[in-house]
Amino acid sequence: MAAPSDSGRTTPTRQTRAQKRAALPDMPDDVTANELRSRDEIKRYRSHRNRLLKEISEPAYVNTDAACRRGVAGLAYSSKALGSRSELIVCDNSTRAEYLALMMALEDADKASLPGPIEFRVDSTALVNYRVARKPDFKQLRRWLDMMFKVHATWRLTLLRRGDNMAANDLARSALDQWEREA
Please report whether residue 170 resides in a domain. yes
104-130 pLDDT tens trace: 999 999 998 877 789 999 999 988 888
Domain of 98 in residue numbering reads as: 60-182
Residue 142 has pLDDT above 80, yes or no: yes
Q: What is the dihedral of CA 114, 108, 147, 100, to 10 degrees?
A: 140
Question: ∠ CA 18-24-25 to the nearest 5 degrees?
Answer: 140
Residue 180: pLDDT above 60? yes
How many Å apart are CA 178 and CA 88, to the nearest integer? 10
Distance, in Å, from the CA atom of 141 to the CA atom of 66, rounded to the nearest integer, reads 16
Q: How many domains in the chain? A: 1
Are residues 63 and 89 in contact, defined by beta-carbon separation less than 8 angstroms?
A: no
26 in a domain, yes or no?
no
The CATH number assigned to the domain holding 105 equals: 3.30.420.10
Does 108 reside within a domain? yes
Q: How far is CA 111 from CA 55, 60, 106, in A?
A: 20, 15, 9
- Give the tens place of pLDDT for each residue, 26-69: 555 555 666 667 777 777 777 766 666 665 556 788 999 999 99
By the 10 Å C-beta count (0-12 exposed, 13-18 middle, 19+ buried), 123 is classed as buried
Among 70, 137, 71, 69, CA closest to 99: 137
